[in-house]
Chain A
């Protein structure tokens, strides 16, 4: 499987606190994506990146920001966590057109 790791794997945080999730890849893939997965909604795209410092919003980007200062790292920040952001977060990487996306193992975030 592709070299992609997410950290932390589990986190419990309080409402109103900032939280940063990390996605690290060793594949030198261009594209990186952050999704959240909730029952009944499948995987929804939060933000994606097509290169260092190049990012764009997905369908559920409100309350989230991202940064990609290096090819291998894509950070997702919840600026002020809310209970509605309790979810499982997946990072995915993709080399380019015609290349499948590989997923990290997910981060289970609980906001209390």
Chain B
């Protein structure tokens, strides 16, 4: 069974701090790893990674994938209160028929305090 584990489960930081969120996975026929941000409603997409060692960046957020060690990290620099959310890691893999499943971790709840 596919498995995605995120750590830490939650953390509280002060504005301006840098945080690193972790995601490790075991999945059949890995296709891609995705990061989402979830506030009060539906998850919103942040990054998709398919290749090892290539960093994706968007403003203060960046992410990198290590396919050999089966993990990814999401970095947020100079955190702001608007970064407070649950960050979800998901992995796309293929089932025995070659059809694509997306498996999510339980998320990391980030709280940024002023």
From A35, A59, A96, contact of B1 by CB (8 A): A59
From A42, A45, A105, contact of B102 by CB (8 A): A45
The main secondary structure of chain B at its interface with chain A is strand
| B34 to A, closest residue via Cβ | A100
How many residue pairs bridge A and B at CB < 8 Å?
A: 66
A96 to B45, CA, bound (A): 16
A residues engaging B (CB < 8 A)?
31, 33, 35, 40-45, 48, 50, 54, 56, 58-59, 90, 92, 94, 96-98, 100-106
Q: Does B18 contact A (CB under 8 A)?
A: no
From B44, B88, B100, contact of A42 by CB (8 A): B88
Q: List 6 A-B contacts (CB under 8 A).
A: A45-B102, A50-B99, A54-B99, A100-B45, A103-B43, A103-B44
Are B103 and A45 within 8 A (Cβ)?
Answer: yes
Chain B 18-41 near chain A by CB (<8 Å), digits 1 or 0: 000000000000011010000001
From B1, B32, B45, contact of A98 by CB (8 A): B32
Chain B 50-91 near chain A by CB (<8 Å), digits 1 or 0: 100000000000000000000000000000000000001010
Are A102 and B101 within 8 A (Cβ)?
Answer: no
How many B residues face the partner with a CB closer than 8 A?
26
A4 to B40, CA, bound (A): 18
A101 to B92, CA, bound (A): 10
A56 to B6, CA, bound (A): 26
Min CB–CB distance B98 → chain A (angstroms): 9
| B9 to A, closest residue via Cβ | A40
Are B42 and A42 within 8 A (Cβ)?
Answer: no
Are B42 and A31 within 8 A (Cβ)?
Answer: no
